[in-house]
Chain A
Amino acid sequence: MQTLRGTKLAIFIGLFPALLIYLGIAIVPIGMSLYYSVMDWNGIGSMKFIGLDNFVKILGDDTFWLSVQNNVIIMVTGLIGQIPLGLLLALLLNRGLKGSGFFRTVGFMPVVISSVMVSLIWGMVYNTEYGMLNNLLGLIGLDGWKQNWLGDVRWSMLSISIAYIWQNCGLYMVIFLAALQNIPDEVNEAAELDGATGLKRTFRITIPMIRSTLLVGVVYSISNSFRVFDLIQILTGGGPAHQTEVMTIHMYNSAFMNMRYGYGSAVSILILLFSLVVISVVNRLGRDKDA
């Protein structure tokens, strides 16, 4: 193809539109975020360089640390809920039981529904007076168990986590199931000859065989937990009194509610840093075990 005349120009023309939109809207803004993060700016007046002041302010801000704590809660409950549950479901569906297709379809359904819909539906489930959960508890005579699921600080983060796990669990199920189906038959046959059956085979052979996929799942679950926004924004808006705020909500509120663009950008840089650190640690740990 190089023999064609004007190839270089054609390559340029072909790549230019995609590169322009992509670099301009997805890549350049990251640099801009870094730039704004060292500025004091309300979006209207002039920008003032203030060095690392924004970061100092953030790190001294109790609401920020509260949001970090909530991110950790989402991350940990997400890991505990999604990975083992997804794996268990995948293992069961991999046994060729009748109706596996149905369970897979139903399991993946919440993944396709928008997080806005998921949040709105769960908002109705948790509704204190009219919600499904409290009504259900009343129906089976457990009136004492009724709670203000989203407004009561003792329950709100747990309630959010459950909706979060509900939404994402099916994705891990399908990821793990695909990996299980890729295990060659010979491995299972060899295991059978060695007398490894049932639980023993599952733990000694099957799970180690899909180790790398499990690690991918763990990493994805962690990076996803740092991106949570829609669910909390709609379920509680971060309230009551910042109690359910996560870092992305903190960023959104400071930038778009309080017009502190510099401060908000600094928060977004910190989110990026935190997630990179956690993910590289997990990757390191995951690989160490391999060695």
Chain B
Amino acid sequence: MNKKSAGFRILAYTFLSLFAMMNIVPLFWMVVNSFKNEQEYAADPFSFPEALHFSNYAEAWKVANMNVYFLNSLFVTFASLIVTVFFGALASYFLSRFQFKLRGITYGVFLLGMLVPIHATLIPIFLIMQKLHLLDTHLSLILPYTAFHLSLTIIILEGFMRGFPKDLEESGVMDGAGIFRIFWSIILPITRPAMATVVILNFIYNWNEYLFALVLISSSALKTLPLGLANFVGIETASLTLQMAALTMALIPIIIFYLLLQKQLVTGMTAGAVKG
């Protein structure tokens, strides 16, 4: 390597390191301080804690109802995800493996959903849920979470199923299997890689959602994690370290999830953005 490229390297690494620090420092600062008590934090917000106080965690877990929020988020996230992926896969199967008159239009309608901004539907959805007496239930979240992620789910799954060879179903037909049997035991199993992407994407979007939860859920016992956290921090303004403990508890699982499934998340979320 010549001199010029050594200079380039130093510049590049300096810049990249600064960028990485910008991304890590706020998170790291929060995690470190979550182990301090108030006095220790007030004395020096940049030191390492003298001892690891887990008392903030115990208190935050209790005061902030973290267990309730975690369970609610898990339930809503997985219920929406299962409904979305199952109905999405079923629709994709018919859209990709069958010829029928309205196929093009139906697919086009689903494609349109990638452009629909959530806020333009927020007030009507609130009023629909009110009419159906579903306000302040988990179902009121599961329905919009499903509706708004069917488009991306179908685009990804349809594209994948389309690639299978034409005569794939023939063996099934020979065996006398019906249309739904073929879907369940031939098509679904080989769609697994695309299903994984779709499941991960649905999971992260549902897990992080805030606006619908804010509008549709009011009782504390039904709040999802983002809504509960936002509320807790709004109320518990006195103790910053307590807030930090609560946030860290919510942050750690998502960071682990990200590090484990980084590849799928990165390609999936990028596709989600580019197609939208």
Contact = CB atoms under 8 A, between A and B. Distances in A.
A103 interface: yes
A117 B20 contact: no
B247 A21 contact: no
Indicate the member of B23, B27, B154, B229 with the most A CB atoms within 10 Å.
Answer: B23
Nearest to A163: B26
Nearest to A103: B16
Given A11-B100, A14-B90, A135-B45, A112 B258 contact: yes
A105 B119 contact: no
Contacts of A108: 258, 262, 265-266
Indicate the member of B169, B178, B210, B255 with the most A CB atoms within 10 Å.
Answer: B210
Interface string A14-28: 110111011111111
Contacts of B230: 116, 119-120, 234
A117 B118 contact: no
B79 to A, nearest CB: 13
A78 interface: no
B99 to A, nearest CB: 7
A218 B246 CA distance: 36
Interface string A93-122: 101010100111111111111111101111
A110 B24 CA distance: 9
Contact of B276 (A18, A139, A220): A220
A132 interface: yes
Interface stretch (A52-60, A153-161, A267-275): A267-275
B197 interface: no
Given A116-B229, A271-B117, A26 B147 contact: yes
Interface of B is mostly: helix
Contacts of A252: 119, 122, 215
A23 B150 CA distance: 10
Contact of B270 (A93, A103, A171): A171
A104 B20 CA distance: 9
Interface string B137-167: 0000001101110110010000000000000
B235 interface: no
Given A116-B226, A117-B226, A251-B119, A111 B269 contact: yes
A174 interface: yes
Given A14-B91, A124-B243, A117 B251 contact: yes
Interface in A1-48: 1-2, 4, 6-8, 10-11, 14-15, 17-19, 21-30, 32-33, 36, 43
B274 interface: yes
Contact of B150 (A21, A121, A255, A268): A21
A198 to B, nearest CB: 8
Interface in B173-188: 173, 178-180, 183
B207 interface: yes
Interface stretch (A63-71, A186-194, A223-231, A281-289): A223-231
Interface residues of A, number: 92
B119 A22 contact: no
A217 B152 CA distance: 18
Given A103-B16, A166-B23, A269 B210 contact: no
13 contacts: A15-B90, A25-B144, A26-B144, A27-B116, A33-B123, A88-B15, A103-B16, A105-B262, A124-B26, A135-B46, A223-B276, A255-B122, A272-B120
Interface of A: 1-2, 4, 6-8, 10-11, 14-15, 17-19, 21-30, 32-33, 36, 43, 88-89, 92-93, 95, 97, 99, 102-117, 119-125, 127, 130, 132, 135-136, 139, 166, 170-171, 174-175, 178, 198, 216, 220, 223, 226-227, 229-230, 233-234, 248, 251-252, 255-256, 261, 264-265, 268-269, 271-272, 275
Interface of B: 4, 9, 12-13, 15-16, 19-20, 22-24, 26-27, 29-30, 41-42, 45-46, 83, 87-88, 90-91, 93-95, 97-100, 106, 109-110, 112-113, 116-128, 143-144, 146-148, 150-151, 154, 169, 173, 178-180, 183, 204, 207-211, 214-215, 226-227, 229-230, 233, 240, 243-244, 247, 250-251, 254-255, 257-259, 262, 265-266, 269-270, 273-274, 276
